[in-house]
Amino acid sequence: MSGIVLGALDLHSTEASGVQWILSDLKGWGAPGGTLAPQQKPRSPGAWAGNSYAKACPLVLTGTCIAPSAALASLALDRLIDAASLDDTRMDVSEGGRSRWSAVRRDGDVLPEWMGDTAFSYSIQVVALDPRKLGAPITASTRLPSSTGGLTIPYTIPYTINSTQVTGQASIFNPGNETGPVTMRIDGPVTGPVVTHIGSGLRLVFAASMTLGVGEWIDIDMEAHTVLAQGTTTRAQYVTSRQWSGLESGQNTWSFTAATYSPGALITVTGTPADK
């Protein structure tokens, strides 16, 4: 494990003030248990069980802080407590040449053990309510499908064929082994947009009565199942097919169509790769 950044605090670094953070261990950065709960079959071998889902992931960070003075050591402990927030805090973990992150909350005490006035060791327990290890977001965009230009008859030899094609598809590759979150933004002008995840066939369809003008847009969160106009006002009432899709492992492609063609319509898809 080459490094952990909890909030704004790098737990494996030497700061300009001379405060040194030495990370000892991160326990739990594997995979959490599941909710299988098998029930023994009566009078026969084996058990019954339904689907199993990953539980929240508890994590324990341990390390040491060494400061040039007692005052800096005290301030360092305050910053550690602040970083181990009771609210969602991003924790970045670098290992094996790659960096992934989880949103964590402190679950338990921050336990310092002083070694004189200028150094202390610590133990912090946090929990990732969403146990996935997330990577850097990837963005792709497309306009509505169209084809312009090409050969015009009659023509004179020699001739050239100039054409421009827009596929109406946006593709993102997820190198991880878990489905990651997806958000989208559709910019107008557009009427009755439709977004289809080609691999699964899942379709998010908006009524033809929903129209976005120039400068208007909607934000779509596929995991939260929300549709917000200009990021504030819900437009969920216009969704006629609520088939929400995610960033599945491997290649993902979404097609963008609409009730009527508009050259200015644009969809931007942002997917975050994920591992179990």
The span from the CA of 230 to the CA of 233, in Å, is: 7
The span from the CA of 245 to the CA of 199, in Å, is: 10
What is the model's pLDDT at position 71? 98
| Residue 36 three-state SS | coil
The span from the CA of 29 to the CA of 54, in Å, is: 14
Determine the topology of domain 138-275 in CATH: Jelly Rolls (2.60.120)
Longest dimension (CA), the chain: 91
Dihedral sign for Cα atoms in the order 226, 217, 201, 254: negative
DSSP code, position 144: -
Domain covering 3-32+52-131 in this structure, CATH number: 2.40.30.200
Q: What percent of the chain has pLDDT over 70?
A: 93
pLDDT tens per residue, range 200-236: 999 999 999 999 999 999 999 999 999 999 989 999 9
Every domain range in the chain assigned CATH 2.40.30.200: 3-32+52-131
Contact 222, 244 (CB under 8 A): yes
What's the one-letter identity of residue 180? G
Half-sphere CA count of 176, side-chain side, radius 13 A: 25
Q: Judge whether residue 191 has pLDDT over 90.
A: yes
Distance of CA 7 to the CA centre of its chain: 17
What is the model's pLDDT at position 163? 55
| Selection from 69, 36, 80, 27 nearest residue 55 by Cα | 36
Q: How confident is the model at residue 151 (pLDDT cuts 50, 70, 90)?
A: very low
Q: pTM above the 0.95 mark?
A: no
The span from the CA of 266 to the CA of 186, in Å, is: 6
